[in-house]
Amino acid sequence: MVLLTQFGFRPPSWIGLVPRHGDPDAKQRTVVEPTAEGRRVQQSVGRRHVARIRRLVGSALEPDELEMLAQLCRKLRLANEL
């Protein structure tokens, strides 16, 4: 969602991209699942985000440092998926 807002997507432009519905097993939860089009948009936005990060930090880091940064980002992402 954050990437979508960074690239100018704001509700209600998300309508049809990331529908929400209640979780039947936990009334206080909301389930958010992207549609196929939502995944396509997220991938496109993600690619632009990666290109932007490369422009901003790529020249400041050596190739091995960029790889270490990628590994750390993957680790953080996986830790938050639990």
Query: What's the whole-number mean pLDDT along residues 45-65?
Result: 86
pTM above 0.85, yes or no: no
More confident residue, 63 or 32: 63
Beta bridge partners of residue 21, listed in sequence order: 31
**CA angle 81–44–10, rounded 5-degree value:** 80
Query: Residues 70, 32: contact at Cβ < 8 Å?
Result: no
Termini Cα distance of the chain:
18
Where in the chain are the domains? 2-80
Band the pLDDT of 42: cuts 50, 70, 90.
confident
Please check the confidence at residue 8 and state whether its pLDDT lies above 80: no
